[in-house]
Structure 1
Amino acid sequence: MSDNEKSQKPEEVDTPNAIENSTELNENQTLESTSNAEEETVNSVEDANESAESEAIENSTKTDDQDEVLNEIDESNAEDAEDEGNKDRHKIEVKEYDTMSLEALAIELERLVATEKIQAIRNHVNSINSEFKQKLQTIIDEKKEDFINDGGNEIDFYFSSPVQKRYKDAYKVYRTKLNEHYQSLEKNLKQNLQDKLAIIEELKGLINVEENINTTYKHFKDLQERWRNTGPIPRDKYNNAWNSYHHHVELFYDFLHLNRDLRDLDFKHNLEKKLLIIERAEELSKDDNVMRAFRELQELHKMWKEELGPVGQEHREEIWERFKAATKIINDKRHAYYQEIDKVYEKNLEKKLEIIEKIKAISATGCKSHGTLQKKIKQIEALRESFFNAGKVPLKLNEKTWAEFKEAVRTFNRQKNSFYKDLKKEQYHNLQLKLDLIKVAEDNKESDDFETVTPLMKKIQSEWKKIGHVPRKDSDKIWKQFKAACNYYFDRIHAKRNAASTEQVEAYHKKNEFLNAFKDLKLTEDKTKGIELIKEKIKEWHALGRVPQDKRYIDAKFQKATDQLLSHLDLEKIEAEMIKYENKLDVLNAADDDHRNLDNERVFIRKKIDEVKSQINQLENNLQFFTNVEDDNPLVKEVHNNIKLHEESLELWKSKLRKVKDLY
């Protein structure tokens, strides 16, 4: 008999009544007629009991290298036996946690805790927790490096996020539920173990009782039922308890040789059930869904061991070898499946290593501009996403691959941080330049010297545009401050212009009416009174004020009308010209520009005086060529006339200059 066969559990056959009927025992039959034979059997069983039990327990601890899969199945079933809800773990989907984001991991943990048995999700939660911690630590390391590069002190660094809190809350609920479950489970496990040990003790006593065999058999079946209905026991006690129980079940069946019909009926029933299990295992060996077949195989082994008892000695080795053969086929297919998975993992590893090399290549080109760096950041983010979606790699290389990936990303981040650290220095310099411009704008925004300050304001606005970027946290603030100072100044100009514009429009309308009346002015024959009247009208004209820029043509019309009136007074040319010039000076003097227009006029007159003097000198020099020519020579006469005209012009310009000086 094999070690596994020795640890089989008999299953109750049909019903006790059916068993009693099948044995055809007469109710009048008593133990008296069989007492001698029973006593002999009991003695022989007792003699062998201690050594047989010791041998069974010893054999159960041996490891068969060729049947490693059987040990794996037994261990898994022992785990399920400790916590009956644990077997549901096979039914819960194991997702690709390594490809999930922090938020997705938190949501998945919340779902598992809320919808699944708490004891069935331990492996799932452990995988989720490992991935979450790993990814969160990567983010924290990056944030910490950025913080230090920005000038922060490492001891002052702190990082938290809503998803981190959400995950902690879900994990706390999981731990609380798990602790509550295990506290309750521990208490029940201990009590169930005591109950099963008591059942074993009762089994030991069955072969020593003096009662009707039917009564003893019914007691035996009741003990089997109690054993099945007793809940889970500690995992580390599972195999020894089962081995001891099955050992005493077999001893009882040996004791039943006095009533072979009862024993053979059980053997037959167990053989039928085990053959069905073997047939199902052989069907599973052809199933393409390897993992599903292996999980069901575990259940079949559990049934074989826990729910069925022994079969006839002549069948034990044969059916066990047949069951092992089907088990080996399924297990070989499972190993082949894992080998295929390993190939997939190897390909995933190649992909991830290629991604790491691409990240390194991007880092190797350096950072030269903000625009280029932003493109690289997007490339790195895409590669990170590809890395996470590339799938699992062989477990033995997982840590190494992850470490290489993190180091490649960190190298890029260090370059990025170094670039922006230098950029920030430049930005702070730019910030100071713009603050200086703000001071200029605010110092001059109340000025009334519009002629001087307006060009200055336009200049600093132009300089502002040429200065580069400033730190983002200051950008909006200083722009609003600068814009407010400039707007305040130009709003004042516009307000003044708008007020002046109304007055000028009104002045235009008045001048237009005045001009129409001036054109119809009738002068007396008295020249002196005529001059005085014209001068008076000129003063009235200037008193009406300035007109809008686009209406300045009306001044030219008034000047033309003045010339026409003066032409009727028979005035000398210089006298008439000076009257008109006085009109012009009055216009220049009326401008509110701190004599700037008068200064320009004076400079202009001096220039004209110099030009006329130069022309006179040139003409006089030309006369030197006519020393032997008579004065009535046409050419000589022309030169003398030109000199006379220039001298008259010179006198006029000098008179104008005196008028200008009189206004200072």
Structure 2
Amino acid sequence: MNTKNNLENEKQPLNEDQSVNNLSENVQEVQEEVKPEAIETEQVVEEVPVEETTEPLSETEPVIEETTKPVVEAEPVVEEAAEPLVEAEPVTEEKSEPVAESEPVAEEATEPLDKPESEIDYHLEDANDDDSEEEEDEDEEIDENSVSEESGSTLMSIEEIVKQLRSLFEKETLQRKHVEEYKNQFYRSLRNEIESQKHVFTADGGEEIDFVANEPEIYTEGKELLLKIKEKRAELVAKEDELKEKNVARKLSIINQIKLLTETQGHEDFNKTYQDFKALQQEWSEIKLVPQSKVNELWKSYQRYVEKFYDLVRINNEFREYDFKKNLELKTDLSEAAERLNDETDVVSAFHQLQNLHQEWREIGPVSRKDREVIWDRFKAASTVINKKYQEHFEELRDKEDENLELKTAICEKLEAIDYTKIKSIKDWNRNVKEVLELQSQWRKIGYVPRKWNTKIYKRYRAACDLFFKNKNDYYKSLRGEMDDNLKKKIELCERAEALKDSTDWKKTTQEFIEIQRQWKTIGIIPRKYVDSVWKRFITACDYFFEQKKLNTSSRYEEENNNLLTKRDIVEQIKKIDPALKEDDALAQLHDLMAKWQGVGYVPYKMKDVSYHEFYEATEAQFDRLNVNKADRKLESFKSNITDMAKSGNAKNQLYFEREKLMRQFDRMKNELQTYENNIGFLSISSKKGNHLLDDMNQKVEKIKSELQLIVKKVEAIDAEL
């Protein structure tokens, strides 16, 4: 929601008929409107003026709180329970003039802030800000993964770190930035200790895979202190929540008392009533923390009865004019203070100071009508300057972090893209280890990423590295034994399939074949030279059974005959495409008919090849007439085959086999292309013979590239069917 919309919401009048008695019933609605998860760190707080029967006496202005996300509601939402205390002072109403009016709300209150993401922690929290405790993720894990790898601060000794943690634990209050600082220091020190032990271990001739870290007792104490600190902070939060609920009850009591004052005003001495009212306002202002979800409704009810009090009580004009003058002086001072913030070099500090000024502004009562818009515009203009600087500051940080995220994501993708099936020798592994170590070095040089991505991207990076080194270690342990075992298992499955393929117990045997195929998928790789032969043996037995099952279903046989007639009719339509049609129109009609042919179901098995041959001859004739290149024809023909294959009883296995065959062909041709390109680099173009060979090789290179593109399209066609 942008700031302009927020201000428009401020102009909406509150319903006079609402009463404090329905406050509890409306809490659920408020919770749905002001969602806690939408307010993760700091909030943009804007007020809604209350409209009186004549004119409201109090005034409300938008108050900008520290924020990283826009607030959903226009009503103030402050975790510190800084309640909008807009005290409307007593005035005497004249017959020709309303009591007062709400503060004019400008078209724009403050610059809309595209706030930095709530998860980004720049350690900018005010040490005295109660909001900082609530804004934390209470489920935050105290472990190494939750701590940033990089830190700009100087690393302290582990003894000093543990000393600081002990001191921190003994304090009555715990500030998040202090906890984060020493937690980061602790895990940096721990990682350094482990790396040092590992270096000594490997330097003494040990294998990295055999290394086991020996954690010193002081690190164990540090971890225990961090856990205790976390538990202590959880207790503090629980106590604070209990206090908030008590404060809600107190504020409801104040609202009821103000309501009672408005209902009994005519029966008591006004001076006493007014003093009671001021005392209630003072008590309200002293109550700070309340649950986030109840701030909005409490404020509405409180403001409604404050306004009603001033509307019902005839206050002397001298009180009114005195309050207006006093409030104007206070608001002028705040405007000047806001303007001076433009000279503040620390943008974040200036923004925090501005929030304090806005809090003071909303606690000051109204000013006279003639001064109202002028003083608000002045204060708003000064606020806009500071908010704009604050927004630009965080946009710069966010852009840099987004760049860092892209760099780290690229490293993860490179690690994940390693094809372990191509690493066949120790030499290959050594080359890849060198590349991975270089990527790790690059990772350590990259700065922060957005906080919400910090753990995710690190886990992704760690998982990719762990997988690489695990595979490397496994390679040295076992090279051949596993593949030989897998070959034996697949041969056994082939024998089982061949023994079942002639069975006529269709239902039972079908389930057995499905189980055999499931087991086949769970078996790992086998020696390369046996891959094709074993697979063909297995798939032949499976296909034979399912084809026999299909032929023995009479209704399906009749349907297949009808499909054959339909396909032949489509072939005749292809042959009779009007030669007078434009080339594009004719080609579109041809593709449409081809799609229809491919969409027809099965034909009798013995007629499958005949039907396809008729279709192929008809389409080839039209492609020749329309001058369609060979590559496109091959692709269309291949797609037709794939469509038919996808309808078979064992579609997935056939498609996977075809895809695997294409990928092997792709690898072979890619290696061939690389060989030609390398040879081109050695040819001398200074002689006629060199030129002739160069031209010949260039032609071969282009042909191979074209074939590679066709293979890619074929693989994409298979993937679309899987």
TM-score tier, shorter chain, comes to: 0.3 to 0.5
Name which one, 1 or 2, has greater alpha-carbon Rg: 1
TM-score, length-scaled by structure 1: 0.42
Give the number of the structure whose residues are more often helix, by fraction: 1
Query: TM-score scaled by structure 2?
Result: 0.39
